[in-house]
Amino acid sequence: MNSALLRLAATLVSGVVFGFGLSLSGMLDPARVRAFLDITGNWNPSLAFVLGGAVLVSALGVLVTRRLKHPLFDTIFHLPAHRTIDGRLIAGSAIFGIGWGLVGLCPGPALASLSLGLPATILFVAAMVIGMLIHDRLVDRKVTVQQPGGASAETRLSQPR
Amino acid sequence: MSEYGNALAGGLLIGLSAAILMLANGRVAGISGIAGRLLQGVQVASGALFVLGLMAGPLVFRLLFGAWPSVTVTSSWPLLVAGGLLVGFGSRMGSGCTSGHGVVGLARLSRRSIAAVATFMAAAIATVFVAGYVG
């Protein structure tokens, strides 16, 4: 098998493991997520173990990658080039957090739960897609132009997030 | 107890998924980035495969445990639309969401991701707090 096929296979495996992990963890359930965020009310802290466990294993992966010259099926690591904490990052994260708190769904669980065929999550994903398109097609260009010496559209596309 | 056990086991698997993608392909498992690039027609095959895999996850859960994972949505339809728009827009503007900044960014000790996670956690907690009085 050539490396392009191996990359696609690894992507599919990664997606399935991610979706199954979300399902097992309880992150798929907006009610659980909102109970986790409700720290002054009826707080359910269990989902902290999801992020804790995920970061732990992910960090082990990062440690291993630092000993590799390149990933198994590719010639380079595709890591974010940005280093600076800017207004875009903070404003975008705040907007994302408000939406996440309102409904209790973030992109991963929203997409994974599509397979349950619930009208509510399908509506949420449709709105999420429109929100992404509004940003990438209408807003991003202006913001990028305003950044002094900022990243061009092309380098932004190559960012792995 | 099993609630916490499942949360930890699920979290470990999510971390494993991110580690697989990083070790095999050198890519960050960031869902908003993968979805955003898919919408822009960039890396379509890998993006579509990852999303299909993501959607297959609950099916595997159902095959193993005989029931779908619980998904309880209580938000009204206007709220779902507003939340979806904000999540889509904000995750693209902030270059990541719970997965890219949370799972991978924190593991890489990225300063940008630490700032992003602190910001979206604070915003989400504040939103739930305010919604408790308004809604």
B 48-77 residues with CB < 8 A to A: 49-61, 68-75, 77
* pLDDT single digits (tens) A2-37: 899 999 999 999 999 999 999 999 999 999 999 999
At A70, is the secondary structure helix, strand, or coil? coil
Helix spans in A82-118 (H):
87-103, 107-112
Check residue A18 and give its pLDDT.
Answer: 98
Q: Does B132 sit within 8 Å of A41, measured CB to CB? A: yes
Report the C-alpha gap between B84 and A153 in whole angstroms.
Answer: 24
Tokens found for residue B72? 């309880």
Report the C-alpha gap between A56 and B116 in whole angstroms.
Answer: 19
- The C-alpha of B113 sits at a distance from chain A's nearest C-alpha, in angstroms, of 9
Who among B10, B72, B123 is closest to A27 (CB)? B10
In this prediction, residues A100-105 reach a mean pLDDT of: 98
Check residue B102 and give its pLDDT.
Answer: 97
> Could you tell me if A51 lies within 8 Å of chain B, comparing CB atoms?
yes
Check residue A83 and give its pLDDT.
Answer: 87
Who among A8, A125, A133 is closest to B45 (CB)? A8
Q: Are B21 and A54 in contact (CB under 8 A)?
A: no
Residue length, chain B?
135
Closest residue on chain A to B42 (Cα): A157
Check residue B132 and give its pLDDT.
Answer: 85
Report the C-alpha gap between A71 and A78 in whole angstroms.
Answer: 10
* Amino acid in the structure at residue B6: N
What confidence tier does B133 reach under pLDDT thresholds 50, 70, 90? confident
pLDDT at position A145 over 80: no
Q: Which residues of B touch A101 (CB under 8 A)?
A: 123-128, 131
- The C-alpha of B26 sits at a distance from chain A's nearest C-alpha, in angstroms, of 4
Report the C-alpha gap between A93 and B92 in whole angstroms.
Answer: 9
Residue A91 CA: distances (Å) to CA of A6, A39, A72, A115, A156: 37, 23, 36, 31, 17
Who among B8, B35, B69 is closest to A28 (CB)? B69
What confidence tier does B135 reach under pLDDT thresholds 50, 70, 90? low
Q: Considering chain B, what is the average pLDDT of its residues?
A: 96
Report the C-alpha gap between A39 and A45 in whole angstroms.
Answer: 8
HEC secondary structure over B79-124: HHHHHHHHHHHHHHHCCCCHHHHHHHHHHCCCHHHHHHHHHHHHHH
Report the C-alpha gap between B36 and A40 in whole angstroms.
Answer: 34
Q: At what angle do helices B44-65 and B31-39 cross, to 10 degrees?
A: 130
Closest to B108 in 3D by CA, of A128, A80, A144, A122: A80
pLDDT at position B134 over 80: no
Closest residue on chain A to B131 (Cα): A102
How would you classify residue B132: left for phi > 0, otherwise alpha for psi between -120 and 50, otherwise beta? alpha
Closest to A101 in 3D by CA, of A42, A46, A35, A44: A35
- Give the H/E segment covering residue A63: helix A48-65
* pLDDT single digits (tens) A43-76: 999 999 999 999 999 999 999 999 999 999 999 9
Q: Which residues of B touch A21 (CB under 8 A)?
A: 9-14, 16-17, 57
Chain CA centroid to CA A11, Å: 15
